[in-house]
Structure formats: structure tokens, C-alpha cells
Structure 1
């Protein structure tokens, strides 16, 4: 009896269908969280007033909705997508399941460059700061890859190198803030990661950078899939390993630099989301990246909403909430990997 040659295509088609349905569900969840972020704030507003503020120009709530909550929500959407994609690309590039722009020091490099521009060079505009953020993130990404061992890098070496860079760069950030007392208050919330200072101008200037980063991440998905099987196999599949690594580092730099310039260094989003979605997508980056781009903003915006309501009338900055959520996840994941390896 000849084997059923249609079985594998049918299974593949069914898998694609489930993934597509899951991605549609993720988009619906994102839509609900976007609405929640607009509806809920540190200052309670009835839903009717929020609705009026959205659609009626004469509403007294219009200023709150359009100048505070809507820009904040859109900034969380863009920054979350950037961080989720950056984390997924880093994990694939380094083959390190603990890779995250915050944990490995990429965000710290961007933050150190931005603090330098703010404190010593007098740069205050987003478009001015974002180029410093790109330079800092790119320098740390290249340094981390080199110090960690390049193509022979192990998760342990990358984690150690990233921890050392993180400690050194954040020490520099703290020292720079203390030397410039005039800017200390201005940078106080930014350095822990915050969406509170969002405005329409920042969102409009951030969007093109994130869009380019998203496009770049999707372009490297297929060659990164090939690279996961080794350089020789990647060449056999038509991928250029050197180009793929360089393009991936550029994508991570673009996404991390833009998000950090706008919101400050926010950690653990890029670490958690790829692990949460991988059971649904598998290792295929053509699915993992879109899922991460959709669900990372969900995590970031839910964290921001929690920060607004838990300590009313004050706020917890979103970077604090992601640390509280991500720290236990990080420890659990490290312990589970140790148990699996033993």
C-alpha cells in the first residue's frame, strides 16, 4: 500500500489555519486592551464621559482622552511591538532563550547614550535623542555579540556579558543624573520606563522608526529560521549568515533605540512574550514574530493600566510593573531550564 502523500500537506494546512486563527484572536485581545487603556486612568472617568470625549468635540473629557490617554495608549502599542520583536529576534540570533534587550544591556546602552545627550549636550527633542539611542544600542549589541563569543556564544556567556554591561551602564546613568541635578527630576521617571509623558508628537515621530523595524524583522524571519540549523545549512538554503546577523543586529538596534528614546528602558517584555507565544507558534519566526508584535503591546498596556489603578491617585511607572511581573517569570524559567538540563 502506498503512503498517503496528502497527510503531511493536510497537517501543515491545519497547523497554518490554527496559527492564523490564534493570531486573529490575539488581534481581538489587543483591540480590547487598547480600549481598556483609553477607558481606565489614574483619574476615574465614567465610560460615558470617555465615549463622549472620543466622539464629541464639546465634551469636557476630550482633553483627557485625546491629550493624555490616547497618546499614551498608542505609545504603548508602538513600544510594546518594538520590544517584543526585538526580544524574539535576539533569542533567535543568539540561540539564547534568556535574551532580552533589557536583560542583556541593549536598552541600557540606549539609556546611557540618551542620558549623555540630555545631561551634557543639552539635547531634548525626540528626534535628537533617538539617534543617540540608536548609537548606544548598536554599540552595546555589537560589543555583547563580540564579548559573548560571536557565533560560538553560549547562553551563559551572553548572560554574564549582558549582566556586566547592564551594571556598568546603569551605574554611569545614575552618576550622570547625580552630576546634573537640574535634569534629575526630568529623567527620574524616564529611567525606570514610563508611558506617562506621551504626547501626539512623540507618537508621530516614533511610528516611522517602529514601522521600519517591524518590516526589517519580518524580512529576516526566513533567513534566521535557516540560520538556526547552522551556517552551512543556511548557505545551502540560500541564506547569507553574515548578512543575516548584521541585519538582525540592525533591526534590534532600531527597535530598542526608538522604544528607549520614547519611553526609557523597559525590561522583561522582550523576554516573556516570545516564550508565552512559542507553544502556539513553534520556533518558526514567520509566525513567532507577528504573534510577538501583537501580544507584547498587550503585556505592556496591561502593565501600564495596573500601574494607574493599583496606587490611585498616584501611579506606578510601567517599567516597575514589568519588573514585578517579569522577575518571577525569569527566575522560574531559569530554574526550569536547570531542572531540564540536570
Structure 2
């Protein structure tokens, strides 16, 4: 085992331990802080006391935060790989907004309420949004530069959000039910939503893992990747499918949470290098830690009220986006 390999393995183990501690904090802290005995009772399913019942309620929320954070981070890393765009991220490219629009339209116009159906609709909306942004970003003589795609994503995302609001505002019942979901929240988690998310999450993770070497080849440019024997079109399409599935599934259960897919892959790439065989697992782990940590923080700092995770990730991600834009050469435009 090389020194670099051992270093990465050590950090991966430390990250897993930190995630485990955050999971404990997630079920222990909130509007009520529970003791060890109630925590253990709640984990075993005993809801006989108020504190242990709080733990039982927080368990699916913790699981959902881990899955959604990992899914968004992996989706962002995949989008950055296929576009070679440092600004690629489900929120910035409008993919999350497209998925949210599809879910709201399905709820309002077709009466869809089953979790699996809504998740399928969200993935379809995410796919349509991704294709639209990719096509619009390629218009003009300069092609799909990072800023062209980011601007196309921002414009499409704003349009999708406006349409979502236009659909929801007249529907008071829908607005009240999903007001926190459209901000980005894991507060409405249930074991049913977790169970529906897991198969699609596993499918996206497996597809990303199988395509990690292909992502490394794409990072070298299409010509070099072709020279290395990589089918550029097929690899880009499959990675895009993985990114859309992960983003759409996460958005369906937690709403459009932004900046996780932007911030996490950048930090992991800086710390552990650009090799996607390592970048992807580190991104998934860090994304889970970020969203879970944000959820715990949002429950603690304003107790007994809560700050939704979508708000906290935006507060963290907006300055990071400004930093990326400032360090990127204007000539990229």
C-alpha cells in the first residue's frame, strides 16, 4: 500500500467514524435532548416515553439526511466530470428545480401522491431540465463553456421556480403541505420515503462506481479519452443518467436542496485529488456529513423551532460559489 493510498484510507475511516457520531447527534439533539437510556430505547423501537418517542421519530430523518446528502454530492461530482465544468451542480444547473417542478405538477394536475410515482416523475423532470440546459448552454459560437452552462442553468432554474410557485400559490392546501419541502427539508422523513429512495440510490452509486475510470478519462478531454479507448458518448450518457437519477430521487423526498453538489466535490478534489475512484466515495461521505450536520445545527440553534437544511446549505454554498467564480478566468466566458 502506497503512502498516498494509506493516507486516503485513513481519512476514509475517520470520515465514517465522524458520520457515525453525527448520526448519534442527529437522534439525540433537537427540540428535546435525550439521554443515553432513552436513546438506546428509541433505537430499539420503544416509544413508551416522550424522549424515546422523539428518537424513534428522528431515526428516519437521520437516514434520509445521509442518503440525500450522499446522493446530491455524487450527482454534483458526476455532472462536473461529464461537463468538465467547475460550476456544474444540480441546483445551479436547474436540474433540482426541474425535478421539483415535475413533482408539484404531478401533485396538482394528476393527483399523484405515491412516493415511488413521485420519484419517477421527479427523475423525468430532472432529465428534461438537464437536457434543456445542456442544449441551451451549447447555443452560440463559444460552445458549452462553464459560464454558458451556469447561465443557462440559472435562467432555466429561475423559470422552473417561477412555474412551481405559480402552480402552488393558488393551491393553499398544497402550499401548506409542501412549504418546507420546496425550501429543502428532511423534516418530513418517514421509513416509506427512505425505503423508496434506497434502491435508486444504490443504482446511482453502482453506476457511478462502474464509470469512475471513464470519468477520469473524460477529465483529460474527449480526444484523449477516445485515444485511450473510451466511448466518450456512451460514458457521458451513462454518467448523466446516474447524476439525474441521484438528483431526481433526492429532490423527490427532500425538495430542491442546493450547493451540496457544488461544495462537496470541490473540497474533496482539493484534499484527495481528482481520481474519481477516490473522489466519488469521499464526496458521498462528505455530502452525507454536510447535510446531516446542517440538519442537526438547524434544529439546535433556534430550538424549539427549526431552520431547514436548504437554507443552511445556501448560506454555506453562496460564498463558496462567489469564490469559485472569482478564481475562474474571465476568459472562460
1:15 pairs with 2:4:
yes
Distance, in Å, in 1 between the alignment partners of 2:224 and 2:319 is 37
| Counterpart among 46, 57, 65 of residue 55 in structure 2 | 65
Paired positions, count:
329
Query: Structure 1 pair 158/340, CA: closer, same or farther in 2 (3 Å)?
Result: closer
- Counterparts of 2:46 and 2:99 in 1: how far apart (Å)? 39
TM-score by length of 2: 0.94
Moved more, 53-62 or 96-105: 53-62
1:321 & 1:84 partners in 2: Cα distance? 16
Aligned pair partner of 1:206 in 197, 217, 223: 197
- Structure 1 residue 63 displacement after superposition: 2.5
Query: What is the alpha-carbon root mean square deviation over aligned residues?
Result: 1.9
Match of 2:235 among 244, 254, 274: 244
For the residues of structure 1 that align with 2:159 and 2:194, how far apart are their CA atoms? 30
Q: Whole-Å Cα distance in 2 between the matches of residues 90 and 133 of structure 1?
A: 17
Of the three residues 38, 48, 53, the one matched with 1:49 is: 38
**Paired residue for 1:6?**
none
Which of the residues 27, 52, 73 maps onto 1:38? 27
Which segment drifts farther, 202-211 or 18-27? 18-27
Aligned residue in 2 for 1:194: 185
- The unaligned stretches of length 5 or more in structure 2 are none
Matches within 5 A, 1:1-342: 13-55=2-44, 57=46, 59-60=48-49, 61-66=51-56, 68-149=57-138, 152-338=143-329
Q: Bigger radius of gyration, 1 or 2?
A: 1
Contact 1:107–1:266 (CA under 8 A) maintained in structure 2: yes
The CA distance in 2 between the partners of 1:51 and 1:249, in whole Å, is 41
Question: Unpaired segments of 5 or more residues in structure 1?
Answer: 1-9
Q: Is the 8 A contact 1:19 1:280 kept in 2?
A: no
Q: 1:138 and 1:233, CA in 2 relative to 1: closer, same or farther beyond 3 A?
A: same
Q: Any idea what the Cα deviations from partners look like across 1:247-303, whole Å, max 9, x if unmatched?
A: 011011100110000000000011100111112221111110010011101000111
Aligned 8 A contact 1:49 1:59 in 2? no
What TM-score do the two structures reach when normalised by structure 1? 0.92
Distance 2:45 2:132 in 1: 52
Query: Deviations 1:28-63 (Å, cap 9, x if unpaired)?
Result: 111111111111112232343223322473741333
Deviating more after overlay: 14-23 vs 213-222:
14-23
Contact 2:62 2:292 in 1 (8 A): yes
Task: Indicate conservation of the 8 Å contact 2:75/2:90, yes or no.
Answer: yes
> 3-state DSSP class of the match of 2:178?
helix
